[in-house]
Amino acid sequence: MSYTDFEFVEVRAISDDHKAIHARRAIPAGTFLGFFDGRAMMVDLDHPETLDDFWWRQSVHLRLVGRRLACLLPTETPDGVDYLNHSCRANARVVDQLYVYAERDIAPGEEITADYRTFNLVPQGIRCWCAEPLCEI
């Protein structure tokens, strides 16, 4: 199970089928917010169907080994930092593929996001929802 500092972070539904993490209170830049954990797994990138879409989105990429991806999958129902969403203008960063820190001061109620392109090793190949027309994650 991932660790989240719930003193700073809360999970909120942002649609019927999507959740995000938000600042429970003001978060100073550099604050440690949590880390990813889970079951280690090797995924053959030539046969990614071994993971359905939900689990692929929940995977934490650790290392590419040829055409295989070492990753972590949540061992329990995702919670806390597992719901860290992408933004091209992120306010958090992921260090060493595991540790989540506030990149800048984050206001109470603000969604906490990271730029997936900085730590996901295998691009999702989907258009980003930012305003840039050619942005892809």
Under DSSP, the state recorded for 51 is S
Q: What is the pLDDT of residue 121?
A: 83
- Cα gap 86→128, rounded to integer Å: 8
- Cα gap 34→51, rounded to integer Å: 25
In a domain, 29, yes or no: yes
Q: Is the pLDDT of residue 130 over 80?
A: no
- Cα gap 55→97, rounded to integer Å: 17
Q: Is the pLDDT of residue 133 over 70?
A: yes
Please state the domain count of the chain.
1
Task: Lay out the sheet containing 3-4: strands in order across.
Answer: 3-4, 32-35, 99-102, 92-95
In a domain, 8, yes or no: yes
pTM over 0.95, yes/no: no
Q: In the structure, what pLDDT confidence band is assigned to residue 57 with cuts at 50, 70 and 90?
A: confident
Q: Which helix (H) or strand (E) holds 58?
A: helix 53-58
- pLDDT tens digits, 58-117: 889 999 999 999 999 888 888 999 999 999 999 999 999 999 999 999 999 999 999 998
- Cα gap 124→71, rounded to integer Å: 14
Q: What is the arithmetic mean of pLDDT over 22-43?
A: 95
In a domain, 41, yes or no: no
Q: Is the pLDDT of residue 12 over 90?
A: yes
Full residue range of the structural domain in which residue 97 is found: 3-36+76-118
Q: In the structure, what pLDDT confidence band is assigned to residue 1 with cuts at 50, 70 and 90?
A: low
In a domain, 12, yes or no: yes
Q: Is the pLDDT of residue 40 over 80?
A: yes
In a domain, 60, yes or no: no
- Amino acid at site 95: V
Q: What is the arithmetic mean of pLDDT over 43-56?
A: 79
Residue bearing tokens 């590419």:
64
Q: What is the arithmetic mean of pLDDT over 12-16?
A: 93
% pLDDT > 90, the chain: 61
In a domain, 95, yes or no: yes
Q: What is the CATH number of the domain that holds 20?
A: 2.170.270.10
